A and B are shown apart, each in its own frame.
Chain A
Amino acid sequence: MSSLLNLPAAELVTRLAAGDVTSAALTEECLAAISQRDSSVRAFLNVDVERSLAQARSIDARRAAGESIGILQGLPIAVKDLICEEGVSCTCASRMLENYISPYSAHVIERLRAAGAVLVGRANMDEFAMGSSGENSAFQVTANPWDLERTPGGSSSGSAAAVAGRLTPMSLGSDTGGSIRQPASLCGVVGLKPTYGRVSRYGLVAFASSLDQIGPFASDVHGAALLLEAMAGHDPRDSTSVDRPVPSYTNSLNEPLKGLRIGVAREHFAEGLDDEVAEVVRRALDVYRSLGAELIDIELPHSKYAVAVYYLIAPSEASSNLARYEGIHYGHRTEKAGSLADLYARSRGEAFGTEVKRRIMLGVYALSSGYYDQYYVKALKVRRLIRNDFDAAFAKVDVIAGPVTPSTAFKLGERTSDPMAMYLSDIYTIPANLAGIPGISIPAGLSPSGLPVGLQLQAAPFAEETLLRAARMFEAATDHHRLIPPMARS
């Protein structure tokens, strides 16, 4: 029998709504897939079998009783382990929060439950979302389903790998500098970072508050559109949540965009980009041309400064956001504290991993007296220049197309000793976070060595509808999203 999990999200939703498939059956299939394959993928930190089945059965019962189920119709979803759900552990893949149970739910969790999601488990990640390979998890290293020796990317490693490994049809991730799009690209799935403020951050454990956004992973564009539609919208509990209507992204999805203007930035094809990635991206651009899109050269002259800006702003905010983890109100407390001062330093020293410590240190340094203007304020100014570049570009084009990440999935362990090399893997994704614009990674094919390559599309703030339609145009004309890693084929 062909697994339900190989079906695209649009079809699963249709079957669930029609009652051809029950949520319980689909959830059971997910749980079976997890028990068969997750020992090698290691995408999940925590799977609650009883609870997810109970949720699924309750949805099925409501449907049988003629009640309306939300647009997710009982689809099982994995959640990155930094989005709070009441009564559920939320570790952020850190020893610091190993035993932390959230007493409240994030806005997106409330929205997904209301939309009929079954929340099957908590996905692994880099500790506190700091990393690009998943190797900074304090608990386990997630593998790329396409090659178990390689990284799925990060920081939403488990969320991407769960969808790529056909363990769940969809998942939630968060993207601060590329943490959805980069793993989506490396795992050959769709991953979308919405406009800053489109999805409430209430209940998302903060890494860098001015950059973080929650976004969807799915095996196809329809799934991503559906999940975004279910969770986007204003939340009065997040001051940065934007009060503006949410269109039905799925309704318009299959309408091709006439006269689509696609911006191509020279800066995206400069040194550092692997040839095999460049080749796949160029072929993708040709597909768009063949679909009638106009390719227009644009300039993003300040994009080469984005990584530098990011590695000042994100650690600065992180150093402050992570000050609350001190072993007093919650979180790890050292056994060895004498004085209060010792308690702070030891609890934090014992429970944070190396990369988290590096970023806290960098942030504290950049904000400290005498360096603030030189580092932090300077970075904020260049951030505006980067935003201005995008504004100028979007005056001329509808979307910008380019690579997501400079290389295909690298070997686990390959970059752990070289943080700068790791940081540079986010060079194409970081600018969207700095500028607040939406970006999506869609499967664009395999490299000659058989690894997935993503195509990144970016659009103006709140132009998710355009972004998704443009993505769907490509997807409809190609078969890349139907590629399934060998280990997940049933």
Chain B
Amino acid sequence: MSLTSEQVRKVASLARLELSDAELSDLGAKLGQTLDYVARLNELDTDGVEPLVHAIELSNVLRPDVLAPSLPRDRGLANAPRTDGKHFLVPAILEG
């Protein structure tokens, strides 16, 4: 099976990935191949099997409510593509 370009476009939009036409068609085919391959899981009856998120199952890992040093602002912003020295800058967010 191959995903239609419509399906691929929808997933790309959710993933926030701008794709070229060549990438769209390649992805449709390659994703289709992978989905065909993983379909073998349907051979297995997994009713009543508890999903396993972590192989080593821990619980109740908590930290005390104490302050730790924050990063100085200039270091927190150092990798940002655009700042005003105090904030991260982004193109105008339209809400109205």
Contact = CB atoms under 8 A, between A and B. Distances in A.
Direct A–B touching in the complex (beta carbon < 8 Å)?
A: yes
Interface of A: 99-101, 103-104, 195-197, 210, 236, 239-240, 242, 302, 304-305, 307-309, 311-312, 319, 323, 326-333, 337-346, 348-350, 352, 354, 357-358, 360-362, 364-365, 368, 375, 377-385, 387, 419-420, 423, 433-437, 461
A381 B19 contact: no
A348 B63 contact: no
Nearest to B10: A368
B44 interface: yes
A103 B34 contact: no
A91 B5 CA distance: 32
A1 to B, nearest CB: 44
Nearest to A97: B79
A341 to B, nearest CB: 8
A330 B71 CA distance: 15
Given A343-B90, A349-B19, 19 more contacts: A196-B56, A197-B58, A304-B40, A307-B37, A311-B38, A326-B16, A329-B79, A341-B16, A343-B91, A345-B13, A349-B17, A354-B23, A357-B23, A358-B27, A361-B11, A375-B38, A382-B46, A384-B51, A423-B34
Interface of B: 3, 8, 11-19, 23, 26-27, 30-31, 33-35, 37-38, 40-42, 44, 46, 49-56, 58, 61, 63, 71, 75-76, 78-82, 88, 90-94
B78 A346 contact: no
Contact of B34 (A195, A327, A362, A364): A362
B53 to A, nearest CB: 6
A358 B91 contact: no
A383 B93 CA distance: 42
Contacts of B46: 378, 381-382, 385
6 contacts: A197-B56, A242-B56, A340-B93, A382-B49, A384-B49, A384-B50
Contacts of A327: 81
A309 B91 CA distance: 40
A357 B19 contact: yes
B44 A383 contact: no
A350 B93 CA distance: 22
B18 to A, nearest CB: 3
Contacts, number: 169
A103 B82 contact: no
B76 A210 contact: no
Select the residue from A362, A368, A377 with max chain B CB neighbours within 10 A: A362
A360 B23 contact: no
A100 B79 contact: yes
B36 to A, nearest CB: 9
B41 A382 contact: yes
Nearest to A368: B14
A349 B17 CA distance: 5
A415 to B, nearest CB: 13
A442 to B, nearest CB: 23
Given A329-B80, A354-B23, A387-B55, A340 B38 contact: no
From A236, A323, A327, A357, residue with most partner B Cβ within 10 Å: A357
B56 A328 contact: no
Contacts of B34: 311, 362, 419-420, 423
Contact of A436 (B27, B56, B91): B56
B88 A329 contact: yes
Contacts of A364: 11, 14-15
Given A307-B37, A420-B33, A210 B71 contact: no
Nearest to A333: B81
Contacts of A385: 44, 46, 49
Given A103-B75, A308-B38, A362-B31, A236 B12 contact: no
Ordered nearest first, which 10 A-B pairs have the shortest CB separation? A436-B55, A349-B18, A380-B51, A330-B79, A333-B81, A384-B52, A381-B46, A345-B18, A344-B16, A381-B49
Nearest to A383: B52
Contacts of B80: 328-330
Contacts of A311: 34, 37-38
Contacts of A381: 46, 49-52
A339 B93 CA distance: 8
Contacts of A382: 41, 44, 46, 49
Contacts of B42: 378
Nearest to A305: B41
Contacts of B93: 340
A96 to B, nearest CB: 11
Contacts of B3: 365
Given A361-B31, A378-B46, A385-B46, A308 B58 contact: no
